[in-house]
Every structure is written in structure tokens, then in C-alpha cells.
Amino acid sequence: MKFLDEAKVFVKSGDGGNGVVAFRRERYIEFGGPDGGNGGKGGDVWAEAVDGLNTLIDYRYAQHFKARKGGNGAGSDRTGAKSDDVVLKVPVGTQILDEDKETLLADLDAVGKRVLLAKGGDGGFGNAHFKSSTNRAPRRADPGFPGEEKWIWLRLKLIADAGLVGLPNAGKSTFLAAVSAAKPKIADYPFTTLHPQLGVVRLNATEEFVLADIPGLIEGASEGAGLGTRFLGHVERCRVLLHLIDGSQSDPVAAWRLIRNELEEYGGGLAEKPEILVLNKADAMTPQARTSRLKALERATGTNVLLASGATGDGVPEVLRAVADLARGRAGR
């Protein structure tokens, strides 16, 4: 299934049904009087977060959603039928934005959460509604009220416990494939990952967490360079950032500073999230290089740095335990 995290759709609720002019005409009843019924209500348009979806691909080609018009009234004071609602099923974590793409209308961050996008028009009154002591035979009936229509944006922000960040070729996809059942594309060139990937990491029979991998970041990602600005939003909801640094490069400190700068420039609270630093690709370094680069990173960051290799699995259990403990601690607050 292809991944799509943004879509523009048009929604229109149903118009209300028309009221009617009718008079009761039965044998032996001389003055039957008005009995025109009211129109039915037009259908609403809703958006609802459902389980089992992780992409907006359904809205790439089907972009117009219109509810039906309410039924017209009828004689014998019969009200027109109410039209069925239209419900847009979206993944959990979908935000609804106005056409300006800035005004947030709703954030569907839990299963079953729903929002009314367009309210159906009410039905018009039939002539029976206007009957009074001074107007015994009204010939007035109102048309139904029009429904609402608008263009909206659907924007998906994946919900995960931890998010993988780092430069291209930092080994994020290899790490995700090693610790979960996810099957990301892995190759020895930058930007192998073109869209976010989710994987469920199971530590034991009772502990698990969701890990998200986004495309690699480069300098200027927060301003639109590369693919970062499009996908950084997916780690906004993560409790913990798992920052992988390529240990095979000569200056891991510069790589760490570049990513930290992009997180701060992007905003959205990313720079304030708890971060676990991992010097990855331990298998590609000599013992002397491992020691010197690890110490250099710890001096620059002022925090403990873990050493691991997604390819061989060395140090990976310790990394996963640190992520699980930190994510659980954040969730309990």
C-alpha cells in the first residue's frame, strides 16, 4: 500500500428537503384543512478516526464527498426522509485543516474520535406548519435550507512512542528492520527511505512500543531542503527521539549538531523532546575509533551515548530498553 500523508478534499452536506402544500381531501370531510408535511434533513459529513489505517491513499483519487438531499414532505402531514450521513474514515493522528492549510479544525488523535465537517440543511416547513386560527388554509411552503460546502486538508501525523532521526545513511532503516517486522527499503545511498515507516518493537511478552522511521534529514530540512520538512511532523507526536549517528564518518559531533539545529529550527517542540543518542554502525569502526568518537560525542552533548550496530545487533537490546523505559516514563506523567 502506498503512503500518503496529505490530501485535499471537497465536502458538501445535503440540502434540506422541501416542504409541500397539500390539503386533506376525504369523502364526508367538508373542511379538510392543510396537511402538507415538512422536508427531511440533509445528510451530514463527518470525519472519524478508525483503527487499521496508516495512510490517506484512499483520498488521492476520491476527493469529492457529498451527502444526499433530504426527502421532500408529502401530504397527510408526512415528513420527508432524513438523508444518511457521509463518514470519511481516516487514520488515527489525522488533522483536519481549513482550506488555508493553517487553521486547525480538529485533531483526531484517538480511535473513535469524530468531527462534523459539514452540517446538513434542515428541511423546509410544509403548509401544515403555518396553519393558525387566522390562517386556516395557508398556501405557503418553504424550500429546504442549503447544506454546507468547503475544501479541507487532511494531514496525517503518525502516532508512535519513539521516532528515529538522523542524517541519510545513518542506518535508521537497517535498525528498524532489525528490531521489528517492518520491511523498509535498505540501500547504500542517501534518501533510500522516501516516506515514514512504522514498526512494532516487542521486548518481551508484555512490553512493546511503536517505532517510526522518517526520511533522513539534511542541512536546511526545516526550511524545505530534502524531504525533511514534509515528514518532520510525524515525529511531533513521538514521546522519545532515537537519534542515530553514523559512527563510520569522521566527525559524528558535526552530524549531531546539524540534526539538533534542524529540530530547533523546525519548532513544534521537537528540540525539547527527550533524546537517546546512539553511535551506530559499531561494526564499521576500529576499537580505537569507537572509543575516541564515543568520548567526543559525550563531551559535546553532555549526556551518555550508547554504542550499537543495527547490522549485527550488538548493543541493540540496551538501546531498546532505554527507549522503552523513557517512553513509559513519559507516558505515565
Residue 316, C-beta contacts closer than 8 angstroms, at least 6 positions apart = 175, 178, 179, 308, 309, 310
Residue 150, C-beta contacts closer than 8 angstroms, at least 6 positions apart = 10, 11, 98, 99, 117, 118
Query: Nearest-5° angle of CA 108, CA 111, CA 116?
Result: 45
Tell me the binding residues for Mg(2+): 173, 193
Angstrom distance (rounded) from CA 34 to CA 249:
87
Q: Are 56 and 154 in contact (CB under 8 A)?
A: yes
CA distances in angstroms from 158 to 94, 161, 169, 235, listed in the order given? 8, 10, 22, 7
Cell of 28: 364526508
- Other Cβ atoms less than 10 A from the Cβ of 305: the count is 21
User: Regarding beta strands 114-118 and 45-50, do their DSSP bridges make them parallel or antiparallel, or are they unpaired?
Assistant: antiparallel
Tell me the binding residues for GTP: 166-173, 191-195, 213-216, 280-283, 309-311
For CA atoms 286, 289, 294, 295, the dihedral sign is positive
DSSP string, 128-178: GGG--SS-SS----PPPPP--EEEEEEEE----SEEEE-STTSSHHHHHHH
